[in-house]
Chains A and B, each alone.
Chain A
Amino acid sequence: MNAKAERIIQVHHVTRVEGHGNIEVKIKDGRVEECQWQVVEAPRFFEAMLRGRKWYEAAHLTSRICGICSIGHTICSLKATEAAMGIAVSEQTAQVRKLLLHAENLQSHLLHLGYLVLPDLLEKPSVIPLAQTHGEQVLLVIGLHRLANEMSDRLGGRTTHPQRPVVGGFARWPTTEEMETLSQKLESARTDVMALADFLGSLIEKFPRFARETEYIALTHPAEYALYEGHIGSTDDGQWPVEQYKGIVNEYLVPHSTAKFTRHKRAAYMVGALARLNLNYDKLSPGAKEIAGKLGLKPINSNPFMNNAAQLVEVVHCFEDSLRLLRDLHARGLKDERPAVSVKAGRGTGAVEVPRGILFHEYEYNKDGEIVWANCVIPTNQNHGNIQMDLEAFVDQIKERPTEQVELMAEMLVRAYDPCISCSTH
């Protein structure tokens, strides 16, 4: 390879991610002259569209920000409305919502690891040829993915854009039989989960060795691995109530991207499975810790490729914690609670951890229960800045390699973040 030559790498668009994003790199005389992560997805203007909508429509609408994390958007939206109107939900509601978040995490992580990342590790363009070469493992992924979706169906009403969760609780509860069937199915899937974890774990060596220190931000909670509730936490230092999210995210615009970027104290920060693991490792379920141990994953890990490994650890965690929650609900018996809502004016913030990281919704309501102002900050927006900085450092590290390899590895880096690009141009 002639080191003097100018090499241009253009990936339009990065594949096996959700939405449209490009990578542009120029290497000249052995130096990386340009390196840019660009979001070119069409903006959708949800925050503006929310204005004038009623309190009972907000979750239905914002669920449509993202197909993959529609449950997370729904729950975050409900929490924002509940905070604005001072509505407290029951323990039972909180628990079924937690189960729904687990279902979504499982579905999303399995999709990402099994369908989008695995082809990289086995050097194939997609999961389709793997059905021939790794039939058993592909069926394992599909089986668990189906189970996660079934969990969303049974608890939320539908796999995507759930109808049952509403302001104040649930419009319909799962039946005792449904919960029991679910428990049984999860219980008998235990060996499959562990087999998949072992298989994916055995490929972990294939991820590039790379590290760049950054700040990790996620919800954190004294009693549990925070997904549904908690304070905003940072690996740098500090904890803040979710209402103060604006002081953390500091959204800003860049000309080459239709999605907003964010930064806290450093130039960028990261959210998602790796951020959660870095902050809340102690609260992982026993089996999840065991897998983390096998993968050599402990806080603070600053290799973004290990976000994949952290997702795998979370698959085990969500799976085990779902069984715990189901047992608990069963022991107490499901009550047919009806949500009680009294509409009033106010402003409120909701925050939950969705598969790709911390999500915020904030709404202001008038006295008729109509939204007059809205703001949504999506995980992938919070990762764009960190993707850019990782890309710069990583491309510099691998710049001597053949062009096709640089291209492939740069794509792998973006994919490790599991970006939800259409979500980030909400």
Chain B
Amino acid sequence: MEKAKVAFFDFASCEGDQLQVINLEEDLLKVVEAVEIVSFREAMKGHSDDYDIAFVEGSVTRRSDEARLKEIRKNAKVLVALGACATLGGVNLLKNFQEAENVRKFVYGDKAFQYETYPARPLKAVVPVDIDIHGCPINRHEFVMVFKSLLLGKKPEIPNYPVCVECKMAESICVFEMGMTCLGPVTRAGCGACCVTEGSYCWGCRGLVDNPNADSQREVLAKYGLGLRDILNKFRLYSGFSEVAQ
């Protein structure tokens, strides 16, 4: 059987998700064995437009980038969004909530006009996306799981229940008990609630579950003393593109 051809691309991002692929270490050699990697600018010279699976990291933040993404969509049989910037717009979306000219001027001063930008958006706002690998950054085990499913021609199973479920399995103490707030109740699981186990709380990087009862989450947050603006800001950190934060 001919090996599947795989390519990696990125738009506005920190490249932290492609880094997780490199961080597969010895397993990366197996990945490389199983497929033919035809484009991966961060790791190799050379490029081909002939590929089956495209992994795309980052958000679209310039109109001029749309053509490149559409080209990738045209070439790829399967397009996978890699990480929160690609699946949700991620932290890049925070600028959408400020006045656009003011954002450009704050960073580039009187030369702001030279720097093209438009409201940041996830890939799916520009082209159809087949599969989302969530997270900021992605979880490398989940990447391998999705990767294997794709090679077998199956649709990968991404959890559609909240982080709280995994948090309880990890036997962490709920941070609400300690007077903190957490987006775990409405955020899609799959990370093992790793931020809670590491001493923090869920920031919502994997996006909302499909039918979040977001209103009840707002009530919960308010009960613990957060104002509406704080709540909106919390949702906005990763899920600004969804309705909840509007």
- On A, residues with C-beta under 8 Å from B are 13, 15-20, 41-45, 47-49, 51-54, 57, 60-61, 64-68, 70, 111, 115-116, 119, 125-128, 131, 139, 142-143, 145-146, 149, 157-164, 166, 170-172, 253, 255, 258, 422-423
Contact = CB atoms under 8 A, between A and B. Distances in A.
Most chain A beta carbons < 10 A, residue from B43, B107, B114, B199 = B107
B14 A48 contact: no
B173 to A, nearest CB: 12
Given A42-B11, A255-B114, A170 B199 contact: yes
A142 B23 CA distance: 9
Contacts of A126: 40, 43-46
Contacts of B117: 42-43, 45
A161 B194 contact: no
Nearest to B10: A422
Contacts of A45: 95, 103-104, 106-107, 117
Contacts of A145: 23, 25
Interface string B131-149: 0000011000000000000
A115 B22 contact: yes
11 contacts: A15-B42, A16-B43, A42-B58, A43-B107, A119-B44, A125-B46, A126-B46, A158-B194, A159-B20, A255-B114, A423-B14
Contacts of A53: 94, 233
B43 A49 contact: no
Interface residues on B, range: 35 or more
B106 A128 contact: no
B154 interface: no
Contacts of B12: 41-44, 422
B44 A15 contact: yes
What 4 pairs across the A-B complex have the smallest Cβ distances? A67-B16, A171-B199, A172-B199, A126-B44
B107 A47 contact: yes
B98 interface: yes
B198 A422 contact: no
Contacts of B230: 54
Contacts of A43: 12, 61, 107-108, 115, 117
Contact of A163 (B23, B103, B108, B200): B200
B92 interface: yes
B90 interface: yes
Interface string B22-49: 1101101100100001001111111000
A163 B22 contact: no
Contact of A171 (B22, B26, B109, B198): B198
B71 interface: no
Nearest to A19: B15
B200 A64 contact: no
Contacts of A67: 13-19, 137
Given A48-B102, A64-B90, A18 B16 contact: no
Given A45-B117, A67-B137, A161-B137, A128 B37 contact: yes
B195 A142 contact: no
A409 B155 CA distance: 44
A298 to B, nearest CB: 33
B126 interface: no
A125 B28 CA distance: 17
Contacts of A49: 91, 94-95, 98, 103
A160 B194 CA distance: 12
Given A44-B92, A157-B194, A64 B103 contact: no
Interface string B198-222: 1110010000000000000000000
B232 to A, nearest CB: 11
Nearest to A258: B115
Contact of B29 (A131, A146, A164): A131
Contacts of B106: 45, 47-48, 51
B62 interface: yes
Contact of A18 (B15, B37, B102): B15
A170 B199 CA distance: 8
Contact of A64 (B16, B20, B26): B16
Contacts of A159: 20, 23
A274 B17 CA distance: 28
Contacts of A13: 41
B187 to A, nearest CB: 15
B150 interface: no
A142 B32 CA distance: 14
B101 to A, nearest CB: 11
A171 B16 contact: no
A64 B198 contact: no
A164 B195 CA distance: 8
Contact of B15 (A54, A162, A166, A422): A422
A42 B16 contact: no
Contact of A160 (B42, B91, B137): B137
A145 to B, nearest CB: 6
